Amino acid sequence: MSVNRIWIKNPLANFTANTLDASGGLVIEGNIIVDVLSAGQTPAQPCQQVFDASEYVLLPGLINTHHHFYQTLTRAWAPVVNQPLFPWLKTLYPVWARLSPDALKLASKVALAELLLSGCTTTTDHHYLFPDGMEQAIDVQVEAVNELGMRALLTRGSMSLGEDDGGLPPQNTVQSGEDILEDSQRLIARYHQRGEGARIQIALAPCSPFSVTEEIMRASAALAEKEDVRLHTHLAETLDEERFCLQRFGLRTVDYLESVGWLSPRTWLAHGIHFNDGEIARLGKAGTGICHCPVSNMRLASGICPTVELEAAGSPIGLGVDGSASNDASNLMFETRQALYLQRLRYGTEQITPQRVLKWATQGSARLIGRSDLGELAIGKQADLALYKLDELRFSGSHDPLSALILCGAERADRVMVAGQWRVIDGQIDGLDVQSLIAQHKVAAKRLIATL
């Protein structure tokens, strides 16, 4: 039986995240890009389907490298709107501790749907809350990802250092090291797919220096090495965190990271704001990746990630929307625009271009999660695509289509393909009743804070 071939023909503009010219479009066979055509070229073999992309800007599917799906239930909650990170967390922990599997499923589907509509085809999630009744949280997320038809690297997060022992989270949100490692092993064995084209993968993700013990950090690094999976955590997000590390461990954040065996190319870090020059050099030499989360960093007034220095030192840079209670959205194209503007404040207009931030959102993010088959338009890569129309009022009068995506604020893809299958058609997710999802999600969100 022959595999279906699709020609995505003559896009209005394209961004390949490499040096290839895709003005003539792409040829897709099954779930793989089998040809990249320059202007005037046509496919060498017949295609069963031709999609006229002449009104579309074509990108590789965007890749989100840091999120907390469950937080869509606590967006724009008045008590934390004006709080910085540590008080924000202390106020929200008791709310999140009431999470149920059904609420998590709805929260995850909302986050995934938002991401998909923005042009995101692959996402990570950092779930670290496992109160009583939530032991199967990652299993719930796997179901949601499969229903939306996306790819995901789901990180088995953890918190093991509660208030009683000097940590930040309340005791009813922490787990023993034994429980954390046992479940981590279970999830890797059950869900982690290897090789090109993987749809579901698992990583290990102790939450942060102020919520886990040194022992679980070391044990997670050892298990990740043994099972060949990736490592993820929050690091150097705020000066409060830096002070915590100095007081508890007698070490700055990067020294602490190295002391527990995490300074390696297997690791990617969320935020990465407060590093000195020496620490940046060490992170780059180790190949440790950094996920820049500009909206969250602005919302919580945490600071600005030193992306240019980190990249120059050798650290891959990707983008993440972070939790939808510190963003408060799950829109990776919006995040890309904000990355451009925030980073221009630090480095000026000439260094931070639309092309550079789009590369962070695609190829850079793919590097963070160890995926050489994603994030580019090239022969042999996965057929994960995002296509945008420039027919809204906001684009009227724009001249360069690729720049217009960022500068005029594209926030929604018209077409999205994952593994050769259209998941978004004419701006709508195939097979998803969005209005019903919104109604159920609103009820769950109100119930979560009803008795507080």
Summarised one tens digit per residue, pLDDT across range 16-45 is 999 999 999 999 999 999 999 999 999 999
Q: Are residues 213 and 335 in the same domain?
A: yes
State the pLDDT at residue 25.
98
Q: Are residues 349 and 271 in the same domain?
A: yes
CATH number, domain of 388, equals 2.30.40.10
pLDDT at 360 over 90: yes
Helix then strand then coil, in percent of the chain rounded to 5, is 40, 20, 40
Helix, strand or coil, per DSSP, at residue 307: helix
- C-beta of residue 4 within 8 angstroms of C-beta of residue 30: yes
Q: Are residues 102 and 245 in the same domain?
A: yes
Question: pLDDT tens digits, residue range 321-342?
Answer: 999 999 999 999 999 999 999 9
What is the pLDDT averaged over residues 260-282?
Answer: 98
Boundary of a domain, candidates 368, 393, 408: 368
DSSP 83: -
Percentage of residues in the chain with pLDDT exceeding 90? 98
Q: In whole angstroms, what is the distance from residue 241 CA to residue 404 CA? A: 38
Q: Are residues 423 and 305 in the same domain?
A: no
Which two three-digit tokens encode residue 76?
Answer: 């724009």
CA neighbor of 137 nearest in space, from 111, 189, 100: 100
Question: pLDDT tens digits, residue range 200-250?
Answer: 999 999 999 999 999 999 999 999 999 999 999 999 999 999 999 999 999
Helix, strand or coil, per DSSP, at residue 398: coil
pLDDT at 194 over 90: yes
Q: Which residues on adjacent β-strands are paired with residue 270?
A: 234, 291
Q: Which residues on adjacent β-strands are paired with residue 32?
A: 29, 382
pLDDT at 1 over 70: no
Amino acid at 389: K
State the pLDDT at residue 3.
78
Question: pLDDT tens digits, residue range 121-139?
Answer: 999 999 999 999 999 999 9
The distance in angstroms from the start CA to the end CA of the chain is: 59
Q: Which residues on adjacent β-strands are paired with residue 235?
A: 271
> What is the domain extent for residue 138?
62-368
Q: In whole angstroms, what is the distance from residue 249 CA to residue 104 CA? A: 34
- C-beta of residue 75 within 8 angstroms of C-beta of residue 328: yes
Side by side, the strands of the sheet bearing 32-37 are 32-37, 25-29, 5-9, 49-52
What is the pLDDT averaged over residues 361-381?
Answer: 98
Which residue's structure tokens are 């931070």? 352
pLDDT at 452 over 90: no
State the pLDDT at residue 451.
67
Q: Are residues 46 and 193 in the same domain?
A: no
